[in-house]
Amino acid sequence: MFRKTFATTATAIVLGLAGPGIATSQTDTGNPMVGGAAMFPDKTIVENAVNSADHETLVAAVTAAGLVETLSGEGPFTVFAPTDAAFDMLQGGTVESLLMPENKDQLVEVLTCHVVAANAMSDAIMSMVEDDGGVHDVATLGGCTLQASYDMGKLMLTDERGRTASVTIADVRQSNGVIHVIDKVLLPAM
């Protein structure tokens, strides 16, 4: 219920930013589909995220954290975007607690541990991993250091708690950076 309420509010806030026009396939946009929606490379991270049915919790969290304007800004940003299923894997009550106004600082920290101040496509990240002998440190805007690695062509990120997320959809180009969809929420050290 909370997810739909926040997502609806975030969608209403952002729709004023999004222009008309709907693509029907990856070919139309040059980007993979995410959450059943076309992702437009000429729209911002936030403008695209609100259309993904798989990222309602992330949109709600970005809205509650007051990061809509930041992630709509010029960037460039690389966002490792956890799906709703990734948020559902957190301990019961965690998401609801993070969305409370009194926990905004903690929510901002968690979310910004998914954001890098660069436009890092997956092939560039994998090249850095290779250059560093199999693991590359990735500094985030939230002060976290993620460990990037890959196995059999799949990019993975390990957070400061040792939790590893896999990139399930890579290189979703945005006007202000790139999104890589991931299957776990990355958390800062305790």
The full set of domain ranges for the chain reads: 2-182
pLDDT over 60 (residue 155): yes
What's residue 132's pLDDT? 96
Torsion over CA: 8, 10, 13, 19 (sign): negative
pLDDT over 90 (residue 1): no
pLDDT over 50 (residue 3): no
Residue whose structure tokens are 């890579």: 170
| Residue 68, both tokens | 């809509």
* CATH code linked to domain 2-182: 2.30.180.10
What's residue 13's pLDDT? 34
pLDDT over 70 (residue 39): yes
H/E run at residue 154 = strand 154-158
Residue whose structure tokens are 């805007």: 141
- Furthest-apart CA atoms within the chain: distance in Å: 46
| Residue 132, both tokens | 């560093």
pLDDT over 90 (residue 186): yes
Q: What does pTM read for this prediction?
A: 0.85
**Contacts with 127 (C-beta within 8 Å, 6 or more apart), sequence order:** none
pLDDT cut 70: percent of the chain above it: 85
Please give the single-letter amino acid code of residue 26. Q
**77-82 and 177-182 strand pairing:** parallel
**Chain mean pLDDT for the chain:** 86
pLDDT band at 30 (very low <50, low <70, confident <90, very high): confident
**pLDDT tens for residues 68-126?**
999 999 999 999 999 999 999 999 999 999 999 999 999 999 999 999 999 999 999 99
- The whole-angstrom separation of Cα 54 and Cα 58 is 9
pLDDT band at 153 (very low <50, low <70, confident <90, very high): confident
Estimate the share of the chain in helix, then strand, then coil, as percent rounded to the nearest 5: 35, 25, 40
**Contacts with 26 (C-beta within 8 Å, 6 or more apart), sequence order:** 32, 33, 38
Of 12-21, 76-85, 174-183, the poorest mean pLDDT is in: 12-21
pLDDT over 80 (residue 4): no
Phi and psi torsions of 2, nearest 5°: -60, -35
What's residue 190's pLDDT? 76
- The whole-angstrom separation of Cα 57 and Cα 92 is 14
pLDDT over 60 (residue 20): no
- Contact in structure between 49 and 59 (CB atoms under 8 Å): yes
